[in-house]
Amino acid sequence: MDLNLNDEHSMGTTIIGVTYDGGVVLGADSRTSTGMYVANRASDKITQLTDNVYVCRSGSAADSQIVSDYVRYFLHQHTIQLGQPATVKVAANLVRLMAYNNKNMLQTGLIVGGWDKYEGGKIYGIPLGGTIVEQPFAIGGSGSSYLYGFFDQAWKEGMTKDEAEQLVVKAVSLAIARDGASGGVVRTVIINADGVTRNFHPGDSLQLWHEELEPQNSLLDILNTASPEPMNF
């Protein structure tokens, strides 16, 4: 079995952005793979662009990190020049311009989500190629293939914040169950008028789906005198 550790670092990924009545919920898994090896099992794919706008990254890890760095820098300048927080539409369009103008060199799909006082909560999907699509919900990454049918059935207008977050966690967890390139923990970010809330759902707290087994404690726990504490992120 060839692990091929020299492959590019890519985030197989499942990323989701969902609007609800009053804001948006962004969700992602946490697996970054290099070929068949999981290079980072606890990565954070939801990156901040401004205080009120976040982006979910998928595809090439390097490309998406660099694009979000550049957009964060442009948005910072824009905020200073404008004198007030940038709108989600401006942030998404800056991302789209970077993605479209460099389409030959980049391989990254992004979902921009945030809240501003003019339009409220908004989600913009920016897939490969650099299209920008404003949607009530967006899904992306390799794991999203398994979620199109699920969202067609489960999505409704006017959800509450908790319903939206539960939907996102359930969806990412379903994608993790079926997609080999998605895994780890589920991270969610809720953005609304009150601010930003980051949540962390460890892998073993997720619901079990068809034919999934209960997690068992590793026998290695016998080796360590005290069982290792879960890491805090």
Partner 1 sequence: MSKGMVEVPPKGGFSFDLCRRNDMLAQKGAKAPSYRKTGTTIVGLIFQDGVILGADTRATEGPIVCDKNCEKIHYMAPNIYCCGAGTAADTEAVTDMVSSQLQLHRYHTSRESRVVTALTLLKRHLFNYQGYVQAALVLGGVDVTGPHLHTIYPHGSTDTLPFSTMGSGSLAAMSVFESKYKEGLTKDEGIKLVTEAICAGIFNDLGSGSNVDVCVITKGQKEYLRNHLLPNPRTYVNEKGYAFPKKIEVLLTKITPLKEKVEIVEASDAMEE
Q: Does 188 bind partner 1 (CB under 8 A)?
A: no
* Minimal distance, residue 65 CB to partner 1, in Å: 5
Phi, psi of 107, rounded to the nearest 5 degrees: -135, 80
Interface with partner 1, residue 5, by CB under 8 A: yes
32/34 Cα distance (integer angstroms): 7
Residue 94's Cβ-side half-sphere holds a number of Cα atoms within 13 Å equal to: 23
9 binds partner 1 (CB under 8 A): yes
- Is 19 tagged catalytic? no
User: Phi/psi of residue 72, each to 5°?
Assistant: -60, -40
Residue 62 or 154: which CB sits closer to partner 1?
Answer: 62
Please select the residue that binds partner 1; options are 21, 35, 39, 166, rule is CB under 8 A: 39
Q: Which stretch binds partner 1 (CB under 8 A): 56-64, 128-136, 147-155, 198-206?
A: 56-64
Establish if 37 lies at the interface with partner 1 (CB under 8 A). Answer: yes
Count of CB atoms situated within 10 Å of the CB of 30: 26
28 near partner 1 (CB under 8 A):
no
Find the shortest distance in angstroms from Cβ 8 to partner 1: 5
Type of residue at 158:
G
Q: Least Å distance between CB 96 and partner 1?
A: 20
CB of 52 to partner 1, least distance (A): 23
Q: Which of 53, 61, 75, 86 binds partner 1 (CB under 8 A)?
A: 61
Sites of contact with partner 1 (CB under 8 A) = 3, 5-6, 8-9, 32, 34, 37, 39-40, 42-43, 60-62, 65-66, 105, 220, 223-224, 226, 228-229, 231-232
Task: Write out the catalytic residue numbers.
Answer: 13
